[in-house]
Amino acid sequence: MKSRRKNRRLTIMGIASLRIGNEKKSVEVYIANISKGGTGIYIHKPIKVGTDVHITFTHRDIEGGRRFEDQPGAIAWCARCGSVYAAGVRFHATP
């Protein structure tokens, strides 16, 4: 079966912070994969499809400094996966 994905997906293992809707506090999520259009996450509670979120990735730059990247998006899907939930975040288009 041919993939219908627009962008290549990179499988990774990482941690990010997710702010759901207008909540001030973020929750820790585990990153499963990422592409130009979105990311797959694991989270401890379900999130309704269509909910706006902001995900903050932390990584090291080439000099070893810490960088934070905040990306707005929306929950595209969410399903129970064992004792956690797997979800897809579709990034909002940025100019």
24: which 2 tokens?
A: 């001030």
Q: What is the pLDDT of residue 65?
A: 83
The pTM assigned to this predicted structure is 0.84
Please indicate, yes or no, if residue 64 is contained in any of the structural domains.
yes
Please indicate, yes or no, if residue 60 is contained in any of the structural domains.
yes
Q: Give the residue numbers spanning the domain of 16.
A: 10-91
Mean pLDDT, residues 62-69: 83
* CATH number for position 32: 2.40.10.220
Mean pLDDT, residues 63-82: 92
CA distances from 69 to 8, 56, 59, 72 (A): 20, 5, 8, 10
Mean pLDDT, residues 50-75: 89
Mean pLDDT, residues 55-74: 87
